[in-house]
Amino acid sequence: MIEWNIQLRAHACQACTRPFSPKQTYHTLLFEENVGYARFDVCEACWTAQSSQGTFARPGFVSHWQGVFDLPQVPPDPIQRATAETLLRQLVELNDPKHGAACFILAVMLERKRLLKVREQTLRDGRRTFLYEHAQTGDLFAITDPALQLDQLEEVQRDVARLLEHGLNPPPTPTSASEPVAGAPPADPEGPQSNPRATAG
């Protein structure tokens, strides 16, 4: 099972293929599949016509909600420290299980800032998944709850802070502390270890 993914909002009705216009009402349907969830965005006319015929009442239907289409905003200058949103998107694209807890914490942070809103909660294979919708782009994020314990939160928060500060490619750790300094006597392997704070500065 995919732990998390992004379902981008369509720019045209997926039933009649007509492009959405600014401020147009659309409907999002979510269907459950073997490997996760699939969204289906349709215009008001197709929703009215097809829902009255029962087309959308097929097995696997999870949720439905209504939105208003807005044109995508111009992305910010990428030459900046990662924000919680850009970092979440990067981690989701990686789909690396080691970042699962970080994805969950970032999603909660964005929910508190009202950039993401919970559209649905599902339970699958004993695990809870939150379906977040981006308030501006309409993109859908499926984030699985890692069921963190209290004694795990501090470590995850440190990991998130490090990722926000340095991104996915942090600068290499300096190795000068382990290399001999020119003109300095060799370290005594039998003697006491030096204080890392003293050698750091």
pLDDT tens across 19-56, in order? Answer: 999 889 999 888 877 777 788 898 999 888 877 666 66
Q: What is the pLDDT of residue 192?
A: 42
Report CA-CA distances (Å) from 29 to 38, 80, 83, 122, 165: 8, 35, 29, 14, 37
Helices (H), the chain: 44-52, 84-94, 100-112, 150-166, 196-200
The stretches in the chain having pLDDT less than 50 are 1-2, 59, 77-81, 176-201
The pTM (predicted TM-score) of the whole model is 0.60
Beta strand residue intervals within 34-77, DSSP E: 36-43, 61-68
Task: Please report which helix (H) or strand (E) contains residue 119, including its range.
Answer: strand 116-124
Q: What is the pLDDT of residue 149?
A: 85
Cα 26 from Cα 156, distance rounded (Å): 37
Q: What is the pLDDT of residue 64?
A: 83
Q: What is the pLDDT of residue 4?
A: 62
Q: What is the pLDDT of residue 124?
A: 75
Q: What is the pLDDT of residue 97?
A: 84
